[in-house]
Structure 1
Amino acid sequence: MAKVKYYYDESALSYRKITVNKSNYYRRIFLIFLAIFFIAFIGFIGFSQIIMSPTAIAQKRELENLEFNFELLNKRLEESSAILSQLQERDNNIYRSYFEANPITEEQRKAGFGGVNRYKVLEGYDNSKLIKSITKEVDILSKQMVVQSKSLDEIVALAKQKENMLSSIPAILPIKIEDLTSVASGYKMRMHPILKINKFHKGMDFTARIGTPIYASGNGRVIIAERSSTYGNVVYISHGYGYKTIYAHMSKIKARRGQEVKRGDLIGYVGNTGLSVAAHLHYEVQKNGISLNPINFYYGNLSLDEFAALQKASEESQSFD
């Protein structure tokens, strides 16, 4: 049996019975139940966070590590991209410029990344924006590295070709300067000493004792090594790149036809054979079949003073052939 409760009514100076309204009663019951449910829910959430299972804890840490590694990877990609950009700039402005190759345009370096959304499959994940950004950066970087790698391969090939060309161009005196007696004639009109006609002298005549060594002035292949009526014992060397040299009036030929020679290799000895009036070497330089002034090709082993003296002697001396 429920207890009856009273309250003191001061106005009536007497105790009155407390009566409970049913609607208020049910409202109180509902509020109490709601408060209990809310407290229980908050407690459950907090408790579940405190006592997560080892698997859940490991998964949470793994996700945090992945996010951290993604951020590190993104930074490294940005650094690598900056380094590659510097290499691309040097490639265009220094390497390719030096070897006279056309620069690679920005469109060529980044071609193939427009149009279709190739990263649509990466959408819908928690970190889709970050994943798409990194994947796109990797793709662009990979493409640019392939283009740059091919460019460097081309530069290496050009460097080797340039090295071969520089080694092949006739760039030294065919006779050591200490072995020269004088320079008999240069590249200009001269009276031929035997034919007695005014004729253009296409090379230079170097006077030296018979038997003085003669050297190849550049890398190449011997295409003629024979005796002729005009040049006597003569050697022709093809240097490639359109260059050819002629060594005439030898006393003895050392080189043989088809032989590969290097700059400075012995190919024969000074003589007085063919249409010649004294012991000397007649030396010519040709480019694409046109004779050039040999004085312009002695930069390989002459000082400025030696070059000036040689040039002056070639202008004043008489032709020996």
Structure 2
Amino acid sequence: MSKVKYVYDPEKLAYRKIKPKKGRKFGYFALFLVASALFGFLCFVVLLNTSYFETPKDRIQAREIENMKINYEILNKKIDQLNETMANLEDRDNNVYRAYFNSSPVDPEKRKGEGENVLSYKQLQGYNNSDLVINTTKRLDVIANQLVFQSKSLDEIITLAKGKEKLLAAIPAIQPVKNEQLKQMASGFGYRSDPFTKVRKFHKGMDFSARTGTPIFATGDGVVEKADASLSGYGNHIEIRHGYGYKTLYAHLSKYKTRPGQRVKRGDIIGYVGSTGRSEAPHLHYEVYQNGKVVNPLNFYYGSISAKEYVLISQIANQENQSLD
């Protein structure tokens, strides 16, 4: 009930009742309605942003957001596993494969590939879970870049491996004359007595004593560079350029079974034992060169003889006897 207001009338010396205007009552009522509407709207907004007032659609969206967070957590755990696998691959790439093929390890910074795709990440900003989505996307981009780089690196390793196969095939790794066809291993690498002057001088190869006509085998893959008697004292001889810094020479042949420019494989017959040139008896004089320097052929017979045979040959080769040329 509204309060009744009075005002003092000095003319009548009495209080009289103030009658409210009809328009004011309506204004008060309108103000009340507006205030009530605003209060109700504010309460509605507050309820919408609390968990006490959820529509079925809100509940479905909340469940989807929670499922998304769980899926992103699982995805990040899988990315952790991928990172461990990639680290293992990179370690083997640098420290096993490249070490084996004598190739320099790859700089870790290069493996990360290109920088972040800032433009694509900006499109993911402005959402409630933007940080989670952007961080996961960045990690996936890093893995993708590493996979691309590792694929290229493995292609390079395959190329190196193919080159290694050629290198292994080119190394002069067998005896030029078979053991069963030898009379004896007549003289080895090092200082020996000259058969003609009896003066001690350096013998640059190994002498294999065998019957005239005994087959001589190419000790590694290569190209015949010479098949003539142009070198003084060597008689009929063959030079094979194997590549990778290797060259072999076969001297005192009775005849050839190859020609200059011909490509040969390890084990191919290239000529026959003889006693041409400066030679005391039928034998093969065999030399091996590595990067332009003559080396001991004994170090290259691992492809055709057993350990026991190697020990026996090395004992004979190391005796300082008389050479056959």
- Please confirm whether the aligned pair reaches a TM-score higher than 0.5, indicating the same fold: yes
Q: Cα deviation per residue 1:197-237 (whole Å; 9 max; x = unaligned)?
A: 54321111100111111111111111111234522221100
Inter-partner Cα distance in structure 2 for 1:282 and 1:182: 13
Q: Does 1:239 align with 2:247?
A: no
1:318 equivalent in structure 2: 322
Corresponding position of 2:88: 86
Equivalent residue in structure 2 for 1:174, among 173, 176, 186: 176
Kindly indicate whether the alpha-carbon contact (under 8 Å) linking 1:192 and 1:319 is maintained by their aligned counterparts in 2. yes
Aligned residue identity for 2:315: K
The answer for the alignment partner of 2:310 in structure 1 is 307
Cα 1:300–1:275 change in 2 (3 A) is same
Decide whether the 8 Å contact of 2:192 with 2:320 is kept in 1: no
Cα distance between partner residues in 1 of 2:176 and 2:248: 10
SS for the counterpart of 1:235 is: strand
Match of 1:110 in 2: 112
Q: Secondary structure at the match of 1:181?
A: strand
TM-score (norm 2): 0.76
In structure 2, give the amino acid aligned to 1:254.
K
TM-aligned CA deviation for residue 279 of structure 1? 0.9
Structure 1 runs of 4+ off > 4 angstroms?
A: 44-48, 56-69, 114-118, 195-198
2:156 aligns with 154
Q: Within 1, Cα distance between the matches of 2:280 and 2:260?
A: 27
TM-score by length of 1: 0.77
Identical residues among aligned pairs (%): 51
Q: Give the AA of the match of 1:157.
A: T
Aligned 8 A contact 1:208 1:270 in 2: yes
2:59, 2:206 → 1: CA distance? 91
The answer to whether residue 101 in structure 2 is matched with residue 77 in structure 1 is no
1:3-28 C-alpha deviation (Å, 9 max, x unpaired): xxxxxxxxxxxxxxxxxx447xxxxx
Distance 1:289 1:91 in 2: 33
Displacement of 1:291 in angstroms is: 1.2
Partner Cα distance (1:185, 1:59) in 2: 91
Q: Which of 221, 240, 252 is the aligned partner of 1:219? A: 221
Give secondary structure in 2 for the equivalent of 1:272. Answer: coil
Paired position in structure 2 for 1:290: 293
Q: Equivalent residue for 1:16?
A: none
Q: Note the residue ranges of structure 2 that are not aligned, 5 or more in a row.
A: 4-32
Report deviation, 1:296. 1.5
SS at 1:134 equivalent? helix
**3-state DSSP of counterpart to 1:273:** coil
Partners of 1:47 and 1:184 in 2: CA distance? 105
Instruction: Report if aligned partners of 1:182, 1:313 keep a CA contact under 8 Å in 2.
Output: no
Distance 1:282 1:47, change over 3 A: closer
Aligned positions of 1:254-273 closer than 5 A: 254-273=257-276
CA distance in structure 2 between the partners assigned to 1:48 and 1:110 by the alignment: 46
2:123 is paired with a residue whose SS is helix
C-alpha distance in structure 2 between counterparts of 1:71 and 1:198, whole Å: 81
Whether contact under 8 Å (1:109, 1:143) holds in the other structure is yes
**Aligned-partner residue type, residue 49 of structure 1:** T
Where do 5+ consecutive residues of structure 1 fail to align?
1-20, 24-29
Question: In 2, are the aligned partners of 1:194 and 1:275 still within 8 Å (CA)?
Answer: no
| Inter-CA distance 61–259: structure 2 relative to 1 (3 Å threshold) | farther
SS for the counterpart of 1:268 is strand
Paired with 1:82 and 1:200, the residues of 2 have a C-alpha distance of: 58
